[in-house]
Structure formats: C-alpha cells, structure tokens
Amino acid sequence: MSSAVISTSAATRRPFLFDAEATDANEHCHPERSGQCAKRIARGVEGTLSLPDSRLAGVTPASRLEIRPAPEMVPSGIAAIDALTGGLPRGCLTEICGPASSGRTTLLLAALAAATHRGEFCAVVDASDALDPHSVNAAGVDLDGLLWVRCGESSRKLTQQQRKRENRETRTNPSEHRLEQVLRATDLLLESGGFGLIVLDLADLSPQDARRVPLTTWFRFRRAIEHTPTILLAIEHQPIAGSCSSLLLQLGSQAESEPAREPSHSQLLTQLDISAELIRSRIDRKPARSVKFATKTAWAG
C-alpha cells in the first residue's frame, strides 16, 4: 500500500511529498544506514504532522498541478486533413512538407479560405513570389482579408549607392537575401498581432537554403504565437523547424509514372491525388498514420 509521507525541503523550508515505498526501497539498499534513515523520516513525519494546517495550505499536490490546455483546433479546409490531425492548432507552428506537386499550396489555400471565411485576417509571406492570384480566388479565399508579402528583389527607389549595395548583396546570394526578408517580415507580422493565420511559403527554396534558418528563429516564432489565436503555417520541401513545430505533415502525390498513350488533346488535368502522412503531432500523441484525398482543378467543374 502506498502512503504519502510529508517532509520539509531544506532549501525552501516548504513541505513536499514523497512516496513511503521509496523509503522502504532505500532501506533495503542500504541496510547499514536504514536505522538512521528511518529515525530521520520518523522525526520528519512527526514534525510535519505537528505543523498547523495553515503551513500546508501553500502545498499543491502533484495531481492538481496546472496542465497546459490543449490548443484550439480549427478546420484546415480539407476534411481528410481534419480527420487526420483534428485541424490546425492555434498558437502553434504547423509544418507541411513535400516535393513539387504534392498539394502543399492546395492545402495552404484551403486553410486560407477557411480562415478568411471565419472572418479572420491572414498573411502569406511568399519567399518565391509564387502565389497565383487566380488560384487564390478559385480556392474561395476572401481577397480583402489576405495580406500578401512578395519577397524577392526590392522594387523601391534607391540611391545609386544603396542600389549598388543591394545588388551586391542579392547577387552574392539571392536566396539568402530572400530568406532574410521572409524572416524579418514574419517577425514584424507576428509582432503586429491580430492575424488568424500567417503562412511562410518556403516551398520553392532548396532544402539547403531553407536549413539556413536557425532553430532559434523557429523557437522565437513559436514563443511569439504561444497563447495567441494565430496559426503559423510553414510550407517547405523538407521539415526544418525541428521540435518547434507542433504538427508536421508530409504530403506526396499519387501521380502515375506510366507515360499516357492517349492523344494529348483528349486528356485533361482534372485532379491531383494527394497522400498526407502525419509525422508528428504534439497535440494528439498517436502513431503516425496517413490519409488520401483528391484535389480538382478549377476547370474540372
């Protein structure tokens, strides 16, 4: 039978709890000291039991310690993804990885459409200036509620000296310059607050470039959105945020590798078959599992 024994911490002089069975085990391990230990514990017990109740008032039993509440999950806009993950967690970083044509942008636009339909303001920090306005519109995103930050070469008017300096920077490493813009813009948007969904579109950056983002940056982003209703969504080629992401989804396409035999004019791209695998979830600790879903093209009807 397990019974709680109350002792007093030497450092804090506050009582704490430990298990009597552990002391019994100690007794068996160190028989020569067992008598002294038992006496000391007995003195502690007597002394503590004689304490007035007011001294125990400040003690929080372990069973009542505050547990961090689970984040609110909101629909991602794709039913299959919601069934897999429970939705997208607010106040957390979600990573969506996959190669080209794996449905990352489709999922991103579906999440944007769902968020704007909820009346939230969204922001897309586009590292490669790759967003297609017609796709955004076709996905049902409310364009008034979407802020698009197109990173890349600056189009502002510069003095000759500034222009030379900027050219030198961008020529030496344009992707680094672009990445710097993405991170600074994201920092500013997170600091500004009030957005329901902020998307970092790093999908076209090579894995080598994307890995240049230090882990401390992801940690900072995670801390910035913690306890806020903002969802931070990053789409990329390979996972790069490490343990900072609460949800990690790997997408892949199910395209046929066999060359088609029919004439080209008789074929029509109508849908993409996507497989989504849940790699990691801090919210719902269940084994990895996957779903499949199809996306249709705007002209498929």
Partner 1 sequence: MPFACIYVPNFSMAAALRAEPELQARPVAILEGKPPLEKIIAVNEKAGASGITPGIPKAQGELCTELALRSRSPLQESSAHAALLDCAQSFSPCVEDSAPDTVFLDLAGMESLLGSLPEISRAISTRAAALGLQANVAVASNPDAALVAARGFPGITLLTAGKEAAHLGPLPVEVLFADRLEGDQRKEADRLLETLDRWGIRNLRSLAALPEVSLSERLGQEGLRLQRLARGAASRTLVPVEVPLVFEEAVELDHPITLLEPLAFLLNRLLEQLCARLGSRALATQELRLTLELETYSSSSASQLKNNFVRTLRLPLPMLDAKVFLKLLQLDLNAHPPGAPIIKIHLAAEPARPRSAQGGLFLPPSPEPEKLELTLARIAGMVGEHKVGALELLDTHHPEGFRMRRFVAEVARRVPQKQNPDAAQAASAITALRRFRPPLRATVTLENGQPMHLVCNKKEVKGEVLWKAGPWRFSGDWWEREAWSRDEWDIALKTGEAIALYRLVHDLFAGCWFVEGTYD
Residues 226-245 that bind partner 1 (CB under 8 A): 228-230
How many chain residues interact with partner 1 (CB under 8 A)? 90
Distance CA 277, CA 289 (A): 6
Phi then psi for residue 254, to 5 deg, are -110, 30
- Closer by beta carbon to partner 1, 41 or else 80: 80
Least distance in angstroms from the C-beta of 246 to partner 1? 19
Binding flag, residue 291, partner 1 (CB under 8 A) = no
Strand partners, 233: 94, 199
Binding flag, residue 104, partner 1 (CB under 8 A) = yes
Distance CA 184, CA 191 (A): 10
CB 166 within 8 Å of CB 158: yes
- Closer by beta carbon to partner 1, 24 or else 226: 226
CB 214 within 8 Å of CB 181: no
Strand partners, 94: 233, 247
- Closer by beta carbon to partner 1, 13 or else 261: 261
Which residue in the set 196, 233, 241, 276 belongs to the binding site for partner 1 (CB under 8 A)? 196
Task: Give the rounded distance of the alpha carbon of 120 from its chain centre.
Answer: 19
Segment contacting partner 1 by CB under 8 A, of 21-29, 58-66, 106-114, 278-286:
106-114
Binding flag, residue 74, partner 1 (CB under 8 A) = no
Least distance in angstroms from the C-beta of 233 to partner 1? 14
Least distance in angstroms from the C-beta of 287 to partner 1? 24
- Closer by beta carbon to partner 1, 148 or else 219: 148
- Closer by beta carbon to partner 1, 196 or else 245: 196
CB 114 within 8 Å of CB 74: yes
Binding flag, residue 221, partner 1 (CB under 8 A) = no
Residues 158-187 contacting partner 1, CB under 8 A = 159, 181, 184-185
The first and second tokens of residue 296, run together, are 């249709």
Binding flag, residue 133, partner 1 (CB under 8 A) = yes
Distance CA 132, CA 146 (A): 13
Q: What is the DSSP string of 62-96?
A: GGGS--PPPPPEE--S-HHHHHHHSSEETTSEEEE
The first and second tokens of residue 139, run together, are 């996905």
Residues 1-60 contacting partner 1, CB under 8 A = none
- Closer by beta carbon to partner 1, 90 or else 222: 90
Residues 257-286 contacting partner 1, CB under 8 A = 257-260, 264-265, 267-269, 271-272
The end-to-end CA distance of the chain, in Å, is 68
